[in-house]
Chain A
Amino acid sequence: MEAFVFFASAAIVLTGAVGVLTSRNPVHAALFLVQTLFGVAVLFVLQDATFLAAVQVIVYAGAVVILFLFVIMLLGVDRAENLGVEPIVGQRPLAAVIGASLMGMLLTLLLVATDGPTGAPGRTAPLGDAGDNTRRLGEALFTGHVFAVELTALLLTVAVVGAVVLARTVKGPMQPLPVVVVATSTEPADADAGPDTAADEESEEAGDA
């Protein structure tokens, strides 16, 4: 039974991951990501990590993916992307080689070279059974790791403030990103820089105000 659940979840996880990799539309990629996250949640339940499975579904599949979808819809980038173009020559073969060698090395190390994972069990925080999981996790977090919990609270606050600062609307006209031009000649750079720099300073002042 455990083997059946494992292999079914593994198939769900891997098809979802490949779907993220190959789908042309970002919305479809986000939905495939939900599939993978649910599969990982099932694997957490299978290993008696019930609290983390619930958090995985609520935080990841709930909040994070909804945030992704929200940004996709807000920016209107839900058009299908043309995956046929390959701007950097040889990027995909090279990435495939890197990924395959990474996977090969990890699997060799895991399945062939050793007799499986080794290590000493911890003495401070024993793993209870599944029913006890949430209580034990809470006790360990708020006694032994309370300083780390406070630090993550600070991190979340900083992230919220940073997101608000990044996404606020700037008064005045927005300066578009400059178009990338590869320099082909050695003409003086400040020949036509007069109006551009004036516009730059203007928009920066508007941004500061």
Chain B
Amino acid sequence: MVVTTSWYLALGAVLFSIGAVGLLTRRNPLVMFMCVELMLNAVNLTFVSLGAELGDLGGQLSVFFVLVVAAAEVVVGLGIIVAIMRRRQGATADDLSVLGG
């Protein structure tokens, strides 16, 4: 049985959907960040699969930059979460509606 590129893309689609549902349902900001990581990994898998299908290195290059941006995003996001949690223990995403003014 031959595993075609479509299988990898389908797996990426399922992983992306699971991450999206998690982002919409969970209220702990840390778990929401983990769901964002799931979605980024789904996209990375898609990039690598299409790069392998087309024989092009561009897919892997894109994944490299996505990795860097994801690391920067996690650093800044966790800094924000630490700053918020210091002011209120156990804050959820709902508590941040005060930022709306």
Seen from chain A, the residues whose Cβ lies within 8 Å of a Cβ on chain B are: 2-3, 6, 10, 13-14, 17-18, 20-21, 26, 29-30, 33, 36-37, 40, 43-44, 47-49, 51-52, 55-56, 59-60, 63-64, 67-68, 71-72, 74-77, 79, 81, 87-88, 91-92, 94-96, 98-100, 102-103, 106-107, 110-111, 116-117, 119-122, 125-128, 133, 136-137, 140-141, 145, 148, 152, 155-156, 158-160, 162-167, 174-178, 180
| A79 CA to B80 CA, complexed, in Å | 20
What is the CA–CA distance of A151 and B48 in the complex, to the nearest angstrom? 22
Tell me the nearest residue of chain A to B56, going by C-beta: A122
Q: Which of B27, B31, B79 contacts A166 (CB 8 A)?
A: B79
Q: Is the CB of A29 within 8 A of B52?
A: no
Residues of B within 8 A of A122 (CB): 54-58
B interface, over-half SS: helix
Would you list the 10 A-B pairs with minimal beta carbon distance, nearest first?
A166-B79, A122-B56, A99-B21, A106-B13, A95-B24, A103-B17, A125-B57, A159-B72, A163-B79, A17-B18
Establish whether residues B18 and A44, one from each chain, have CB atoms under 8 Å apart when the complex forms: no
Q: Judging by beta carbons under 8 Å apart, are A177 and B87 in contact?
A: yes
Min distance, Cβ A7 to any Cβ of chain B, angstroms: 8
Q: What is the bound-complex CA distance between A14 and B97, given in angstroms?
A: 32
* Residues in B65-93 with C-beta less than 8 Å from chain A: 65, 67-76, 78-91
Complex Cα–Cα for A119 and B46 (A): 14
Interface residues on B, range: 35 or more
Tell me which of B13, B26, B28, B88 contacts A110 (CB under 8 A). Answer: B13
CB proximity of A67 to chain B, nearest CB, Å? 6
B38 touches A20 (CB 8 A): yes
CB <8 Å contact, B41 and A121: no
Report which B residues bind A (CB closer than 8 A).
1-11, 13-22, 24-28, 30-31, 33-35, 37-38, 41, 44-45, 48-58, 60-61, 63-65, 67-76, 78-91, 94-95, 97-98
Residue pair B75, A67 in contact (C-beta under 8 Å): yes
Whether A121 touches B54, Cβ cut-off 8 Å, given contacts A20-B38, A59-B67, A140-B61, is yes
